[in-house]
Amino acid sequence: MIKLQTRVSKHRDNIYHFLWKIDSECRELRLSMNDSNVMETIRKIRFLTDLQKKYRRRLKLLNY
């Protein structure tokens, strides 16, 4: 049976995938952190964490 996705469900799926991508990037940054790039890595992680918060709120609204 063919399932037709609505615009909202497609948007929700895209947000899920984007959050998964951001999460994996943060994990990679945490693993690659060393003494020489600590400040730069922390800056990137904070930016990605803020993005995660933003998109989690959007996802929460879509799931409501």
Domain around 42: 10-63
In total, how many domains does the chain have?
1
pLDDT in tens, 5-48: 788 889 999 999 999 999 999 999 999 988 888 999 999 999 99
Q: Is the pLDDT of residue 4 over 70?
A: no
Whether 46 is covered by a domain: the verdict is: yes
Residue 48 lies in a domain: yes
**3-state SS track over the chain:** CCCCCCHHHHHHHHHHHHHHHHHHHHHHHHHHCCHHHHHHHHHHHHHHHHHHHHHHHHHHHHHC
CA atoms within a 13 Å half-sphere pointing along the CA-CB vector of 48: 19
CA–CA distance from 43 to each of 1, 23, 29, 50 (Å)? Answer: 47, 15, 10, 11
pTM of the model: 0.80
Query: Tokens at residue 53, please?
Result: 């918060």
- The pLDDT, as a whole number, for residue 7 is 86
Question: Does residue 18 lie in a domain region?
Answer: yes
User: 3: pLDDT confidence band, cut at 50, 70 and 90?
Assistant: low
